Amino acid sequence: MMRSCFIRPAMLVLLILCFGCGHSPEQLVAYVENPSHGLVQEMHLPQYDIRIQYLPPDLQVLAAHGRVPSAAVLKEDRSKYEGFAYFRFVLQGNDFEPKADTLAYLDFNMMNDFMLVTGKGDTIPCVIYQRIASGSKHRTEFMVVFEGAVTGPGITAQDFRFVYADKILGIPPVVFRFRARDLKKIPHL
């Protein structure tokens, strides 16, 4: 009898720890946006500034719903996003006012300038690419997506490189390195 009195509270604490381990949306966003965690990187070139941000699956789920969904929906949606690697790519320059032919390239062909190179040397091409209105004529923002997860259940996170090999703006090839240890530390909802 006395033993069950101690087991029930211990089980309750264990259940709370197991199912209450998720982080708040604010914690996830703050972590992903903090450059010291390696998920946001910048490069300053003579004519352009380039910024890249890795967007983990849980952040995609949060953006899709505007809040943390139920556990079942979270699990289902997370599995949809885990097969892809999402990035926000920002190109900014004081003299960057793209002309019509450059805009056409940015809208339709620039996706061929992006690739991921895994730690094993595999090259993953961009599969989804969308230019996003930024509200500034000197700044262009893109959503860049690669098929092939870099994190997720059953996937061992590995180092990889995001490569931007420009073909129209005169920017030399740019490489951003992402480390597995940073990916493993990303908080989950």
pLDDT value, residue 53: 96
CA distance 111 to 129: 6
Give the contacts of 186 (CB within 8 A, at least 6 positions apart). Answer: 28, 31, 32, 37, 39, 56, 58, 151
Provide the residue type at 92 as one letter. Answer: Q
CA distances from 68 to 58, 65, 71, 100 (A): 9, 7, 9, 41
pLDDT of residue 50: 96
- What amino acid occupies position 97? E
- The pLDDT profile of the chain, 189 residues, written as one tens digit per residue, is 444 444 444 333 333 333 345 788 999 999 999 999 999 999 999 889 999 999 998 998 988 888 888 888 888 888 888 888 999 999 988 776 667 777 788 888 899 999 999 888 888 999 999 988 776 777 889 999 998 766 655 556 678 999 999 998 889 999 999 998 898 899 988
Residue among 3, 26, 17 at smallest CA distance from 187 = 26
Distance CA 59, CA 47 (A): 31
DSSP state, residue 172:
P
Q: Can you give the pLDDT at residue 151?
A: 61
Q: Of 83, 42, 80, give the one whose Cα is nearest residue 63.
A: 80
Looking at residue 155, its pLDDT comes to 56
| pLDDT for the residue numbered 21 | 52
In this prediction, residue 30 carries a pLDDT of: 93
Cα–Cα distance measured from residue 189 to residue 177, given in angstroms and rounded to the nearest whole number: 25
CA-to-CA distance for 47 and 93, rounded, in angstroms?
6
